[in-house]
């Protein structure tokens, strides 16, 4: 049994004792504005409290209309609204947990026409320009923070988190980048930090000593004209004096062009920032960002980087993270892989958040896994993400399940994804499903090509086809030449690629292959990540921005695509820019609007805007899409066996593990 003495040891905060050192960090879920949202939030947060989280921090709630995330966004400014939250806080308290409400004023980040800011500086990620707050409006906004805190206490919250980082309103007052005022709220650093200090002082005075006040402090802005470490330390001391209970770590603004929580960021890549503040204040410090396993959290706490660890998305992935760690079963934790596909991407698309590896997240009231009363013998063909999730959930419910795959290992297309530099975390999803398939006694048959005759002969009552996709090979003269490889050949089979390569296709797979081909092969470490993205560890100036040390010269890569649309248009909402930036930094050439004429031994002949040219290369890698693999469908249908399609076999649209796992889980819940 693995022990986590530091992670699970109690921490006294004077007025209360947390049973472990784990905080569920704030993240907007979309439930805040959804129909029946309060009951759904109660189920969501209640399950996490039951799973052992010591202190939960909610998604951001605005203190007034101007501070809303968007028109119709959550706000707490009336007693009526506060009482709606009672069902949420009671659900958490019933399970022995504590919960704080994050007060978030978006400032110039708000997506509506009533936004305000320290100055009238428009955010590069927003079309609206903020109205600069007058001094009277500043004091009114401080009163709104106090009133919101009072209402949070009325709602049953144990405390509040004042959001002072990520480039939101408070941060906008603190940074020169967004504060060009010449009154008492601008100019000197002492003037610029007056706003957060007055908020904390006023909330503490009004709410008394036994109310938790967390202040989320931007310790590393990662934007031009951002703060430095001396300013961070000064503000931390002033926030402590003002009455904060805990200081939480904020990393990067939303407009920063450096990834801070995506999969290509190494685990615990920013705890060194929090460590710089240790010893300068006497209240607990929380560290965050890409801490996703008990082992990583334990290491961070053991070396003294922080007093508490905040994890947000890991509790989307597994609500019983802490209990499993406590029981010495970390292998059963469904690990957050930081893909952003169902959490942040959904929020930025106006959808309810969920989780690629756990589609029950934020859907606890509708996607309920119960024991079946009608045990069936079910075959699942294909051990990719959809097949594994379906087989696991079917067996968890009590069905007799056999999982077939022609390959020698579980994972299907995840085995391609996990081999892409920066996407190694996908191996954790395979590990989790492997563990759970064994736990629920799924009969796994690898290296087995199963035919429709086999399935019929073995008497399966239902069959799930999770057979995935077949790479599409376009009809181009020379496509069968010895210098042409498919993405499967390159990524999965490791076939050699020459120094000059052409990648045909610019969807997600084309980008992944291009990242792989230009990767220098160095270790996936925090040190290398910080160098590649130009992060200054001294934080002496300019928000911690330094010079990039981007790897170049590994290969000369050209990406080609038929359409005239922008490269990366189909990539993830919140991660696509990272992939595009990486390829730009690595000098990858990109040509759109291409008509393929021929593939020759020394290059690809194309036509662009009526001009024919040859792109010299040694190797051509085909990433031209996929077709569904449905070879077993018709014979099974003819045999009158109920058959279901999920994942790529249902719809060959890129390599969509999110959809596959969701389909697999929902289908398993519906059978029997």
- Give the confidence band of 523 by pLDDT, cuts at 50, 70, 90: confident
> What DSSP designation does 58 have?
P
Which domain does 596 fall in, by range?
Answer: 474-519+554-624
What confidence score (pLDDT) does residue 625 get? 87
The C-alpha atoms of residue 396 and residue 385 are separated, in whole angstroms, by 16
Contacts of 181 (CB under 8 A, 6+ apart): 118, 119, 132, 187, 191
What confidence score (pLDDT) does residue 16 get? 73
Share of the chain above pLDDT 70, in %: 99
363 part of a folded domain: no
Of the three residues 341, 357, 388, the one that is the final residue of a domain is 341
283 part of a folded domain: yes
Token pair for residue 605? 């002949």
Share of the chain above pLDDT 90, in %: 94
What confidence score (pLDDT) does residue 12 get? 85
The C-alpha atoms of residue 62 and residue 72 are separated, in whole angstroms, by 11
Q: How many structural domains is the chain composed of?
A: 3
Q: Is the pLDDT of residue 75 over 80?
A: yes
Of the three residues 293, 321, 341, the one that is the final residue of a domain is 341
315 and 443 co-located in one domain: no
User: What is the tens place of the pLDDT at every residue in 369-380?
Assistant: 999 999 999 999
- Give the confidence band of 550 by pLDDT, cuts at 50, 70, 90: confident
- What average pLDDT does range 558-565 have in this prediction? 96
Residues labelled catalytic? 168
- What average pLDDT does range 115-121 have in this prediction? 97
182 and 310 co-located in one domain: yes
Q: Which residues are registered as beta bridge partners of 457? A: none
Phi and psi angles of residue 301, each rounded to the nearest 5 degrees, phi first: -70, -40
- The pTM (predicted TM-score) of the whole model is 0.96
- What average pLDDT does range 63-85 have in this prediction? 96
User: What is the tens place of the pLDDT at every residue in 130-141?
Assistant: 999 999 999 999
360 part of a folded domain: no
188 and 231 co-located in one domain: yes
249 and 389 co-located in one domain: no
Count of CB atoms situated within 10 Å of the CB of 539: 25
Q: Is the pLDDT of residue 107 over 70?
A: yes
199 part of a folded domain: yes
The C-alpha atoms of residue 32 and residue 327 are separated, in whole angstroms, by 33
What confidence score (pLDDT) does residue 17 get? 80
What confidence score (pLDDT) does residue 653 get? 75
User: What is the tens place of the pLDDT at every residue in 572-620?
Assistant: 989 999 999 999 999 999 999 999 999 999 999 999 999 999 999 999 9
The C-alpha atoms of residue 478 and residue 467 are separated, in whole angstroms, by 29
Q: Is the pLDDT of residue 654 over 90?
A: no
What confidence score (pLDDT) does residue 303 get? 96
The C-alpha atoms of residue 389 and residue 393 are separated, in whole angstroms, by 6
Token pair for residue 291? 């801490």
If residue 294 lies in a helix (H) or strand (E), which one and from where to where? helix 294-302
Residues recorded for the chain? 672
Sign for the pseudo-dihedral over CA of 408, 411, 412, 418: negative
Helix, strand, or coil here: 175? coil
Of the three residues 292, 322, 341, the one that is the final residue of a domain is 341
Instruction: List the CATH number of the domain containing 187.
Output: 3.20.20.70
Helix, strand, or coil here: 525? coil
Q: Which residues are registered as beta bridge partners of 103? A: 61, 162
Position with higher pLDDT, 3 vs 88: 88
Q: Is the pLDDT of residue 55 over 80?
A: yes
Assess contact for 37 and 31: CB atoms under 8 A.
yes
249 and 391 co-located in one domain: no
Instruction: List the CATH number of the domain containing 661.
Output: 3.40.50.720
> What DSSP designation does 569 have?
T
- Give the confidence band of 551 by pLDDT, cuts at 50, 70, 90: confident
Count of CB atoms situated within 10 Å of the CB of 591: 16
Instruction: List the CATH number of the domain containing 489.
Output: 3.50.50.60
Q: What is the mean pLDDT of the chain?
A: 96
The C-alpha atoms of residue 358 and residue 335 are separated, in whole angstroms, by 9
542 part of a folded domain: no
662 and 587 co-located in one domain: no
Cα angle 453, 459, 461 (rounded to 5 degrees) comes to: 110
Assess contact for 425 and 337: CB atoms under 8 A.
yes
Highest mean pLDDT among 389-398, 468-477, 515-524: 389-398
452 and 595 co-located in one domain: no
610 and 595 co-located in one domain: yes
136 and 233 co-located in one domain: yes
89 and 162 co-located in one domain: yes
Q: Which residues are registered as beta bridge partners of 503? A: 559, 621
Cα distance from N-terminal residue to C-terminal residue, the chain: 36
What confidence score (pLDDT) does residue 400 get? 98
248 and 213 co-located in one domain: yes
Token pair for residue 409? 């290992």
Q: Is the pLDDT of residue 15 over 70?
A: no
350 part of a folded domain: no
What confidence score (pLDDT) does residue 631 get? 95
164 and 312 co-located in one domain: yes
Token pair for residue 617? 């290369």
Contacts of 405 (CB under 8 A, 6+ apart): 381, 382, 383, 387, 412, 444, 445, 446, 447, 448
- By DSSP bridging, strand 603-608 and strand 594-600 are antiparallel
What confidence score (pLDDT) does residue 382 get? 98
535 part of a folded domain: no
Q: Where are the alpha helices (DSSP H) in 407-551?
A: 414-417, 426-439, 452-457, 487, 508-517, 526-533
592 part of a folded domain: yes
- What average pLDDT does range 315-320 have in this prediction? 98
Count of CB atoms situated within 10 Å of the CB of 587: 12
Contacts of 506 (CB under 8 A, 6+ apart): 559, 560, 561, 567, 568, 590, 592, 623
The C-alpha atoms of residue 252 and residue 165 are separated, in whole angstroms, by 8
């Amino acid at each position: 049994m693995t022990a986590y003495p530091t992670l699970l040891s109690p921490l006294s905060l004077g007025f209360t004792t947390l049973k472990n050192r784990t905080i569920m960090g704030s993240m907007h879920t979309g439930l805040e504005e959804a129909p029946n949202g309060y009951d759904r939030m109660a189920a969501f947060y209640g399950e996490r409290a039951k799973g052992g989280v010591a202190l939960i921090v909610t998604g951001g709630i605005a203190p007034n209309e101007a501070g809303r995330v968007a028109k119709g966004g959550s706000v707490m400014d009336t007693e009526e609204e506060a009482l709606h939250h009672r069902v949420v806080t009671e659900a958490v308290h019933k399970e022995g947990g504590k919960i704080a409400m994050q007060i978030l004023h978006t400032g110039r980040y708000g997506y509506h026409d009533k936004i305000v800011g320290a100055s009238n500086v428009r955010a590069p990620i927003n079309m609206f320009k903020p109205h600069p707050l007058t001094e009277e409006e500043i004091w009114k906004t401080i009163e709104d923070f106090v009133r919101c805190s009072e209402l949070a206490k009325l709602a049953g919250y144990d405390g509040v988190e004042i959001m002072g980082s990520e480039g939101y309103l408070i941060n906008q007052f603190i940074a020169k980048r967004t504060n060009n005022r010449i009154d008492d709220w601008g100019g000197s650093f002492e003037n610029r930090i007056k706003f957060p200090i007055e908020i904390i002082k006023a909330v503490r005075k009004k709410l008394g000593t036994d109310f938790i006040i967390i202040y989320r402090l931007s310790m590393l802005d990662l934007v031009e004209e951002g703060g430095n470490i001396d300013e961070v330390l000064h503000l931390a001391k002033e926030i402590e004096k003002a009455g904060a209970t805990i200081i939480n770590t904020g990393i990067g603004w939303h407009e920063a062009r450096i990834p801070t929580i995506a999969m290509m960021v190494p685990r615990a890549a920013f705890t060194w920032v929090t460590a710089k503040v240790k010893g300068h204040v006497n209240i607990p410090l929380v560290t965050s960002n890409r801490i996703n396993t008990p082992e990583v959290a334990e290491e961070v706490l053991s070396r003294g980087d922080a007093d508490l660890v905040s994890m947000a998305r890991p509790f989307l992935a597994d609500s019983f993270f802490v209990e499993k760690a406590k029981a010495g079963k970390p292998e059963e934790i469904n690990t957050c892989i930081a893909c952003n596909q169902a959490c942040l991407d959904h929020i930025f698309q106006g959808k309810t958040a969920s989780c690629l590896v756990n589609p029950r997240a934020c859907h606890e009231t509708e996607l309920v896994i119960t024991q079946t009363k009608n045990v069936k013998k079910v075959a699942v063909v294909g051990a990719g993400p959809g097949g594994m999730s379906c087989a696991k959930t079917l067996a968890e419910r009590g069905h007799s399940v056999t999982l077939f795959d022609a390959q020698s290992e579980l994972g299907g297309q995840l085995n391609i994804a996990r081999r892409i530099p920066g996407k190694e975390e996908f191996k954790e999803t395979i590990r989790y499903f492997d563990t759970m398939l064994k736990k629920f006694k799924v009969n796994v048959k690898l290296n087995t090509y199963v035919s429709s005759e086999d399935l019929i002969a073995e008497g399966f009552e239902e069959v799930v086809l999770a057979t995935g996709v077949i790479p599409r090979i376009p009809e181009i003269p020379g496509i069968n030449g010895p210098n042409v490889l498919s993405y499967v050949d390159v990524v999965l089979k490791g076939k050699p690629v020459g120094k000059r390569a052409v990648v045909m296709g610019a969807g997600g797979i084309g980008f992944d292959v291009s990242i792989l081909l230009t990767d220098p092969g160095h270790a996936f470490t925090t040190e290398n990540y910080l160098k590649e993205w130009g992060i200054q560890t001294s934080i002496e100036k300019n928000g911690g921005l330094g010079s990039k040390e981007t790897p170049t010269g590994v290969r000369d890569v050209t990406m080609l695509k038929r359409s005239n649309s922008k490269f990366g248009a189909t990539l993830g909402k919140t991660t696509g820019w990272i992939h595009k930036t990486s390829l730009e930094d690595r000098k990858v050439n990109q040509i759109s609007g291409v008509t393929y004429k021929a593939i020759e031994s020394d290059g690809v002949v194309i036509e662009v805007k009526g001009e024919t040219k040859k792109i010299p290369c040694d190797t051509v890698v085909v990433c031209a899409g996929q077709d569904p693999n449905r070879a077993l469908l018709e014979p099974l249908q003819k045999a009158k066996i109920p058959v279901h399609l999920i994942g790529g076999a249902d719809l060959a649209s890129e390599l969509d593990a999110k959809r596959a796992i969701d389909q697999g889980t929902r289908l398993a819940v519906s059978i029997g």
